[in-house]
Amino acid sequence: MFGLSSECVVKLKSLLDHVNQHLKFEMKGHVENKSKCAEHCSTYSLSDPTSKCFSDKCDHDHDQSCDDCSTTGVLDTVMLDAVSSVRKAIPADIQEEITHDLQISTLNLSTWKAHCIRTVHQEQARRDVLLQLKSHQCLIVMDWAMKFLPIKHRETQADFYGKKGIGWHISSVITTSQILGESPATHTDKFDVQTFVHILQLGTQGWFSVAHILTDLLNQLSVRTTVNEVFLKSDNAGCYHCAPLLSFIQHLNSCSSIKVLQYNFSEAQSGKDICDAKTAHCKMHMIRYSGEGHDIVTPQDMRAALHANGGGKGVLASVGSVDREINKREKWCPKFPTSVEEPFPILLNNKGSLKILSVRPEEQTIEEVPRNDGHETDQSISEPNNQLYPCPDMSCSKVYTKLCYLENHLCLGNHVYNSKKENQFDSIKKAWASQCVAVEREHKVLVRATAPSTVLVFNNEGWALKTSKSVKRFSTKVKDYISSIHQYFNATGKRPNFEDIAEELKTKRDDDGNKVFKQEEWLSPSQIRSLFSNFVRKNAQSIEIHTGTQKETKNDEDLQQALAEIDALEYHADMVNVALASENDFS
């Protein structure tokens, strides 16, 4: 470690482990809507100081600090101080690499911390919708499931490889109804969950497919239910969070009997618990169907598998085809009106382009979920119990006695982030340690009781908002170097390691021993991967153009040959006419 003492190394590793555990398991439990700690207050953290419409003023002062959250803020300072203490022992070129890595790591930590704030805050939107949901309204949670690989009951090794996945879309519709009691005070509400599965036979996982899946979904809801208002929720994928889909929804509200009132976007890896649970149920149902001696190789087979043996509870599957030929992009016209009320002209002619090939005619059972997600137990139990089902969210402290209660909890999303209770990570460690008491091993103590911190870490208002990154063009020297590497891997057929290529950019030297690329020219593995993708796409386009040129050349040769044959026939006909005329003259 370039001269760092062993005590300093142990201290830094312990600090890194502590920050990792805090961000991964404890940070969400600290977040509150209103808090005197600036790092815990989501209102202060997510208020945009440049826009009054997206900001709110706190009615309290932020004069408190949190030890754990402050540690993540001063980690970069501690690391820089450690590097500065041994700077003389580090070569100048290595110092540049270490400084660059520390800057990237600091940015990643702050991004992770802001992600935790936005995750907890955005989950509150779903809770508010469910708490205020009325009988004529529903919440639709949408997500694309991982492509289903075709399976056969008995398949050869040759059939196992080279499969092409089948795309399918999951839409979980949550409605509410009231259970009448003996008196109005004893009336309780319950949630009904129904899952709509759209299996694509033709089409891609883009906004165009989502638009027509949403159209079919609203049509089915208008026929099967009394819902006339819906709330939408999905992740931030490009097929959902895009202007064309939002414009389509605006147009859909003007011509459909069901109105979309609100569209909420969740953070990455969160907000889709109910869709993930239903996807797992559907997969297990299809695997059991295949084990009974059936093959699932087409979208129609998937639908048959989902409806076999009575079908999944509350699951309705259909096979659809989206024609991409009608999704034609028009060139931008400067005089075209850009008002929000004016829908895209392309969408006016695309109504009904989703062709439903098959749908189950039978009535589907609806899965009932109680509004009150009770039956939970405290996670800090004294005796081990194998029949408990903890929430898969590591930061949530809820544990249930039955699997159905856990599914209801995932449907509602009422996670309880309590940092005072022992988190699931610590429980797993203790359970594992109890099984290995006979083995001598070292246990790291990551959680320590400390006194309240008096040092305030100052954060600007809106520090947890997503920041806009400036787009910079790669230098010609870097692009040429990456292009030569791509040509090498393309010629040899080897698979590139983007992490090694990124490290090679930092350490590449010329004949004089100087670094070839400056720090501003270094690329991350993700940037190199995208650059490789651009090279592959350009090569494919050039091959396609070359093939088209060859076809045009071949067509030109055929045309010249046909014209030559026509000229020969005309010449032959003229000579025959001349011969006949001469014969008539002599006669």
pLDDT in tens, 408-446: 777 666 677 665 555 556 667 777 776 666 545 444 555
pLDDT (tens digit, 9 = 90+) per residue, 216-263? 999 999 998 889 999 999 988 889 988 889 999 998 998 888 999 999
Same domain, yes or no, for 353 and 213? yes
Q: Helix, strand, or coil here: 259?
A: strand
Residues 45, 145, single domain; the answer is: no
Q: What is the mean pLDDT of residues 521-542?
A: 86
pLDDT at residue 340 above 50? Answer: no
Please give the pLDDT value at position 297.
92
Q: Verify that 74 and 146 share a domain, yes or no.
A: no
Identity of the residue numbered 460: N
Q: Identify whether residues 517 and 543 lie together within a single domain.
A: yes
Confirm whether 428 is domain-assigned. no
Residue 31: strand, helix, or coil: coil
Residue-level pLDDT at 219: 92
Check residue 280 and give its pLDDT. 92
In the structure encoding, which two tokens stand for residue 339, read together? 């008002």
Side chain identity at residue 469, one-letter code: K
On the CB side of 91, how many CA atoms lie within 13 Å of its CA? 4
Q: Is 352 inside a domain boundary?
A: yes
Q: Would 578 be classed as within a structural domain? A: no
Q: What angle do CA 445, 451, 456 make, to 5 degrees?
A: 110
Domain boundary among 353, 370, 387: 370
Q: What CATH number corresponds to the domain at position 200?
A: 3.30.420.10
What is the per-residue pLDDT across 94-131, written as a single tens digit (0 to 9) for each? 888 888 888 888 888 888 898 989 988 888 888 888 88
pLDDT at residue 484 is higher than 70:
yes
Which residue, chain included where needed, has tokens 């829908």? 343
Residue 258's pLDDT is: 92
In a domain, 465, yes or no: no
* β-pair type (137-144, 168-179): antiparallel
Q: Are 358 and 319 in contact (CB under 8 A)?
A: yes
Distances (CA, A) of 171 to 140, 224, 297, 301: 6, 15, 23, 20
312 Cβ partners below 8 Å, 6+ apart? Answer: 195, 281, 282, 285, 306
**Same domain, residue pair 300 and 219:** yes
Radius of gyration of the chain (CA): 32
Query: 305 and 220, same structural domain?
Result: yes
**Average pLDDT of the segment spanning 329-352:** 39
Residues 95 and 70 in one domain: yes
Task: Indicate the SS3 state at residue 264.
Answer: strand
CA quadruple 377, 381, 383, 384: dihedral sign = positive
**Any domain includes 109:** yes
Percent of residues, the chain, with pLDDT higher than 70: 74
Domain shared by 249 and 362, yes or no = yes
Does the structure show a pLDDT above 70 at 452?
A: no
Residue 100 sits in the same domain as residue 191: no
212 and 111 in a single domain? The answer is: no
Domain that includes residue 261, residue range: 133-157+164-328+337-370
Residue 209 or 401, more confident = 209
Say if CB 30 and CB 117 are below 8 A apart. no
Structural domain total, the chain: 3
Q: Which of 433, 394, 386 is nearest to 417 (CA)?
A: 394
- For residue 364, name the pLDDT band (cuts at 50, 70, 90): very low
Position 370 scores a pLDDT of 52
Hey, which residues does 175 pair with through a beta bridge?
138, 192
Identify whether 557 is part of a domain.
yes
Do 152 and 100 fall into the same domain? Answer: no
The mean pLDDT of the chain is: 77
- Mean pLDDT for 4-16 is 87
- 581 in a structural domain: no
Highest mean pLDDT among 61-65, 213-217, 570-574: 213-217
Q: Are 108 and 138 in a shared domain?
A: no
**Any domain includes 572:** no
* Burial classification of residue 162, based on how many CB atoms lie within 10 Å of its CB (0-12 exposed, 13-18 middle, 19 or more buried): exposed
Is the pLDDT higher at 540 or at 373? 540
Taking 80 as the threshold, does the pLDDT of residue 44 lie above it?
Answer: yes
Tens digit of pLDDT for each residue in 545-556? 666 555 555 556
Q: Which residue is listed with tokens 């989902």? A: 306
User: Which pLDDT belongs to residue 180?
Assistant: 47
